[in-house]
A and B are shown apart, each in its own frame.
With several copies, the nearest count.
Chain A
Amino acid sequence: MVSPAVNTKKMTMIEGVRNAMDEMLKENEDVIILGEDIGVNGGVFRATEGLHEKYGEDRIIDTPISESGIIGNSIGLAANGFRPIAEIQFLGFIYPGFNQLMTHATRLRQRSLGRFTVPVVVRAPYGAGVKAPEIHSDSVESLFTHMPGIKVVVPSNAYDAKGLLIASIDDPDPVMFLEPLRCYRSNRTEVPDGKYTIDIGRASVLKQGDDISVFTWGAMVMDTMKAIETLEEEQNMSCEVIDLRTLYPLDKETISASVQKTGRAAIIHEAPATGGVSNDVISLINDTSFLYLRAPIQRVTGFDTPVPVYSLEQEYLPSAAKIQAAIVNAVNF
């Protein structure tokens, strides 16, 4: 997708997110952003820094504290020609707007047989591990993957973030764009200038391997890569690591091809085990690769508990030790 002549710059993920919005705001007058503190303040994580100055308050719109209002108005704006990006300050605060997503944004196309559509991107930082107050740290991807009519995207680095966000803004349907908080400034990747897209629905194979397929996304990508590095060194083991990047629709080909190659799978995520997206991955493997499986699929997930206050947060998050134990379990089964 990227022409080789294009310049690149090293960016953090939050810069990649900002850069994607900047590109699209420049390209298309109908792209606007709505959210709390996104204007003069540039967003509480600075995702929209500088955009208010550059594009003005008619396009970078500070709203009242009103998530239903943000999403509901975005639906009306989208159905009437705009391409709103709705920023929810933390994913844990999307629930007051849940009704608008569940009964409208995701259904309007079907309800009107295509007459009205909702090309809205809902962006939200999410996930645990940054010592945020209670309720700020939920990983509830599966509330949205279970919602027919919306796509769910989770980048883990700047390059993916920019390409996926541009693809999401271009997408004719609603996209839930989840930004793992721990990834915002934890690493930098080369990001090309200008517009490029990464297809929604394509996973990214971060590392080839033969013994087990490890699926993860978001902030757990970093932890998984690190856990596996030591494991491979110490145990002479070869792991394939796949960043799913899109959680709906899942990348069926990549997932099943990998499991059919390795015969084993582990899934790592922050959300509670019950109802987590891991279960959909297991189900997909059951459907496509039953006869290839040499061990039960392993899950390393958050607990079936709320994310606790920060003194216990690290206990909540899947640890390197748990990731390693799960992989060893599968390989030694």
Chain B
Amino acid sequence: MIEDFPMQQIINEDGEIVDADALNDISTEKVKSFYYKMLCARMLDKKCVNLQRQGKIGTYVPYEGQEAAQIGSAVALEEGDWIFPTYRDHAATLTFGHSMRNLLLNWRGRPEGNVPPEGVNIFPPGIPIASQLLHATGAAWAEKKHGSDRVSLVYFGDGATSEGDFHEALNFGSVFNIPTIFFNQNNGYAISVPMERQMKTKTIAQKGLAYDMDCLRIDGNDVLAVFAATKASVDRARANQGPTLIEAVTWRYGAHTTADDASKYRDQNESETRRETTDPLLRVQRYLQTQNTWNEDWLKTIEEEITDEIETAIAEMEAYPEPDLRQLFDYVYDRPTWTIQEQVNQHLAVQGEE
């Protein structure tokens, strides 16, 4: 079966062009903008790991290694589209327009973290595995019913394919021909459990056959391949040609979260090797180098730019006003029930006494 789903690439690990036709559609400027976004995401991720160590944010979920998958897919969307991230997909949400400050506030345990800028359709990250897939179909179905050509894209991991909701969402998507891109980041592990114990199949793409759904497998570390495949799927969805299941094969370098110890279940040398070989940023760099469009000064400039942006966001996060009790009480319902109102009153009465 795996032969039926070859891993699609546009540029390979060494930065060599594999699919020149596909590359034609993508300007060097665009490639460089992808690189910029990936670098920004990576620098932010490293920073967050540090912030967690310093106790400035809580347990953090790193995505380092998966930048191409998240950014290549997010840039293929347009305004008015919808994305449904998991806890690991903030490279995607950042790319799609979430504010860096709110993204940081999320890791600081602040409800604002889930609130995207006005007009940007990003759902709060899905925590119960695979449950968000059904919101993605629902929201895209609404677009279709309202006659727009907007689509939704939902992120989920290899492990998520084991949940019933994965199946129900793909079935709904195919039965009602809903414009949703089911974007799987197969990073090889679900916490400690490798793909081989999660499923018998060697590909996730083939699961689309159970729904007569378009399905493909791409090199998730090739940002160009990710972009091109997602864009094609999005175009099809916009044209009412139905949903697509994309398997983007990738790898997380780090632990599952900052509370996880990856060395308990895998040899972390593998990650070190991969940094030298399949890394998504390095690959673009190599490609630009072979094209003679790589420039160390440019790199330095953008590194500085990004550092500034991140430092500003962190400063904003740190200066952010204290959490407000009303965030706990006022948004359970449109208007608090008497039960909640009474609880607020009691709470304030006692905590005032302290």
Is there a direct interface between A and B, measured as CB atoms under 8 Å apart in the complex? yes
- Tell me the minimal C-beta distance from B201 to chain A in angstroms: 12
- Given the interface pairs A64-B197, A249-B337, the reply to whether A110 lies near B332 with Cβ below 8 Å is yes
List of A residues within 8 angstroms of B265 by Cβ = 40-41
Nearest residue (CB) in B for A115 is B115
Q: Are A308 and B351 in contact (CB under 8 A)?
A: no
- Checking A58, A110, A131, A135 against B127 with a beta-carbon cut-off of 8 angstroms, the contacting residue is A135
Chain B residues whose CB sits within 8 angstroms of the CB of A319 once the complex forms = 350-351
Residues of A within 8 A of B109 (CB): 131, 309-313
Q: Is the CB of A79 within 8 A of B339?
A: no
Does B18 interact with chain A (Cβ within 8 Å)?
no
* A209 contacts partner chain B, Cβ-Cβ < 8 Å: no
Give every chain B residue within 8 A of A188 (Cβ-Cβ). none
A303-B171 Cα distance, complex, nearest whole Å:
38
- Whether B134 lies near A72 (C-beta < 8 A) is yes
The residues of B that contact A194 with a CB separation of less than 8 Å are none
Contact between B332 and A68 (Cβ–Cβ < 8 Å)? no
Q: Is the CB of B113 within 8 A of A37?
A: no
Given the contacts A64-B198, A304-B343, A72 and B331 also touching, CB distance less than 8 Å: no
Least CB separation from B190: chain A residue:
A65
A96→B128 contact, CB < 8 A: yes
Q: Can you name the residue of chain A whose Cβ is closest to the Cβ of B164?
A: A68
State the Cβ distance, A320 to closest chain B Cβ, in Å: 9
The interface residues of chain A lying within 8 Å CB-to-CB of B116 are 115
> Which parts of A12-30 form the interface with B (CB within 8 Å)?
none
Given contacts A77-B141, A303-B343, A310-B58, contact A66 B131 (CB under 8 A): no
Which residue on B lies nearest to A58, using beta carbons? B145
Does the CB pair A303–B198 fall under 8 Å? no
Per-residue CB contact flags for chain B residues 112-139 toward chain A (1 = under 8 Å, else 0) read: 1111100000011001111101111111
Whether a CB of chain B sits under 8 angstroms from the CB of A73 is yes
With a cutoff of 8 Å between Cβ atoms, the chain B residues found around residue A273 in the complex are: 339, 343
Give A226-270 interface residues, CB cut-off 8 Å to B.
248-250, 252
From B131, B172, B340, B351, A103 is in contact (CB under 8 Å) with: B131
Rounded to whole angstroms, the CA-CA distance of A42 and B193 in the bound complex is 11
B99 within 8 A of A: no
Give how many A residues have a beta carbon under 8 Å from the other chain's beta carbons.
81
Q: What is the CA–CA distance of A164 and B339 in the complex, to the nearest angstrom?
A: 20
Judged by a CB distance under 8 angstroms, whether B87 is at the interface is yes
Per-residue B-contact encoding for A171-186, CB less than 8 Å = 1, 0 else: 1110000000000000
Flag whether A117 is at the interface (Cβ < 8 A): yes
> Are A62 and B331 in contact (CB-based, < 8 A)?
no
B339 touches A304 (CB 8 A): yes
A113–B164 CB distance below 8 A: no
Residues of B within 8 A of A160 (CB): none
Q: Which residues of B contact A149 (CB under 8 A)?
A: 332-333
A80 at the interface (CB under 8 A from B): yes
B84 to chain A, nearest CB (A): 8
Is B339 a contact of A274 with CB atoms below 8 Å?
yes
A96 to B127, alpha carbons, bound, how many Å? 13
Q: Is B334 part of the contact surface with A, judged by Cβ < 8 Å?
A: yes
* A 70-107 binary contact with B (CB < 8 Å = 1; else 0): 01111111111110000000001101100110011000
Contact A40 B264 (CB under 8 A): yes
Chain B residues near A274: list those with CB within 8 A: 339
CB distance from B336 to the nearest CB of A (A): 9
Whether the pair A172, B334 counts as a contact (CB closer than 8 A) is: yes
Q: Does B199 contact A (CB under 8 A)?
A: yes
Q: Which residues of A contact B198 (CB under 8 A)?
A: 64-65
B175 adjacent to A304 (CB under 8 Å): no
Residues of B within 8 A of A249 (CB): 337-339
A273–B110 alpha-carbon span in the complex (Å): 24
For residue A66, which residues in chain B have a CB less than 8 angstroms away from its CB? 162-164, 168, 171-172
List, in ascending order, chain A residues with CB within 8 A of B123's CB.
79, 112, 116
In B250-291, which residues have CB < 8 Å from any A CB?
259-260, 264-265
Q: Is B169 an interface residue (CB 8 A)?
A: yes
Residues of the B chain whose Cβ atoms lie less than 8 Å from the Cβ of A308: 111, 327-328
Verify if B329 is at the interface (C-beta below 8 Å from A). Answer: yes
Among residues of A, the one whose C-beta sits closest to the C-beta of B160 is A65
Cβ A104 vs Cβ B328 within 8 A: no
Contacts of B159 in A (CB 8 A): 64-65
Is A131 a contact of B59 with CB atoms below 8 Å?
Answer: yes
Nearest-Cβ distance from residue B89 to partner chain A, whole angstroms: 14
Which residues from chain A contact B111 at a C-beta distance below 8 Å?
Answer: 110-111, 113, 308-309, 311-312
Within 8 A of B (CB), among A105-127: 108-117
B-to-A contact residues, CB < 8 Å:
58-59, 82, 87, 108-116, 123-124, 127-131, 133-143, 145-146, 152, 159-160, 162-165, 168-169, 171-172, 175, 190-193, 197-199, 259-260, 264-265, 323, 325, 327-329, 331-334, 337-340, 343, 346-347, 350-351, 353-354
A-B contact pairs, 23 of them (CB 8 A): A40-B192, A41-B191, A64-B159, A64-B171, A66-B168, A71-B134, A75-B138, A79-B135, A80-B143, A95-B128, A96-B163, A112-B123, A115-B115, A115-B116, A133-B127, A149-B333, A252-B338, A303-B343, A309-B109, A311-B323, A312-B323, A312-B325, A322-B350
The interface of chain A, by Cβ under 8 A from chain B, is 32, 36-37, 39-42, 44, 58, 62-66, 68-69, 71-82, 92-93, 95-96, 99-100, 103-104, 108-117, 131-136, 148-149, 151, 171-173, 201, 248-250, 252, 273-274, 303-306, 308-313, 315-316, 319, 321-322, 325
Q: A76-B135, A113-B111, A322-B351 are in contact. List 17 more A-B contacts (CB 8 A).
A: A36-B191, A64-B197, A65-B193, A72-B135, A72-B165, A75-B135, A75-B138, A80-B82, A81-B142, A111-B111, A115-B115, A116-B124, A201-B338, A305-B332, A312-B323, A312-B328, A316-B328
